[in-house]
Structure 1
Amino acid sequence: MSSNEILWIAVVSVLLLSGVMFRIALHYRDQVKALKELIENLKFEIRVLKEECNGAMKIIGERNEDIRKYEAEIKERDKLIKKFKQQIEEHEKAFRNVSEVVMTLKADVQSRDTEIEELKQKIDAYREDFKRKSEKIQALKADVQSRDEEVERLTQELKQRDEAVKAPSHKNKKSKKKGK
């Protein structure tokens, strides 16, 4: 092999090697482009995800603030519920006390109703007694009046007799005249 052939083989080998390297370089360049594109896409997705995450964090922050507000409202309402329960207990206690007073008053009213009934019966008995006594009194008054009339009549008769006795009889009148 002559030096030309060796040179020729070396040049062809270098060219082949350069072609293979060029092919490898092109292949890697395409892979690098694809990877750069992939990286850009991933960066874009990361930005989108970060924005979504920031939006979500903002929403979470707002929701946390809402939760704090609602928790504060719940605490206030719990206090109100506790206060109302206490008021209900006080009202129930007052109601029980009033119920006891009402029961006592009902018992008093019932005993007084019984007493009133007894007094009504006594009043009815007194009225009956009064009616009988009034009738007796009327009868006695009528009797007294009839006796008064009888006394008056007898008094009149007595006066008439006295007058008749005092009046000189005709015989007495003549003798009195003679004696004078």
Structure 2
Amino acid sequence: MAILSTPRTWLLPLTRRMIQQRLDHPSFDLNCGFGGSGPDSSMSVHFPPAWPGDPLAFFPAILARLRPGQEDVHPDTSFTLVARDARAGNRLTAIGQLGSTGTVSASGELEIGYGLNPAVWNQGYATEAVGALVAHLHTLARVRRVVAATARHNRASERVLEKTGFTRTGQRWSADDGDLTTWAHERR
């Protein structure tokens, strides 16, 4: 299980327990273990009603695809974003969700998506987290190219991708999201 760390965040693997709790409760707390020992080996994380935003609609389908006993959704590619400085009392707070939208294609391409709670927009968390995610994905042997799509005219999301080294590759249309701009980040 990969736990990614940036100066201001931790990216914790998305788990069955997180998804089930969110489907059952609009707000909840979970003890999220890092493994090992020491003061940072586990933490209490508060999941506010704003978490995970748009991906909530996909949670029932994700749960249905998990095998019996499988705890992590995609342990190397799907994460819950926790800000080290965003606290609810003495608990850390989940501020977003990011990771793969599917599996790696035969050509080594993996699409990602991300969304943060509105309370933390425009604070640089998305850029920091997406940068860490992309760097991590490029360490996986099977991932050669990371791709993403943004809603046309969503300048904030476009800036996140530009700052993390993505380039525009074109446009497409989605029944769910309408007109999209497509992006790619090649393994260096």
Q: TM-score, normalised by structure 1?
A: 0.12
Q: Write 1 or 2 for the structure with the bigger share of helix.
A: 1
Which protein shows a greater Rg?
1
Q: Write 1 or 2 for the structure with the bigger share of strand.
A: 2
Q: TM-score, normalised by structure 2?
A: 0.12
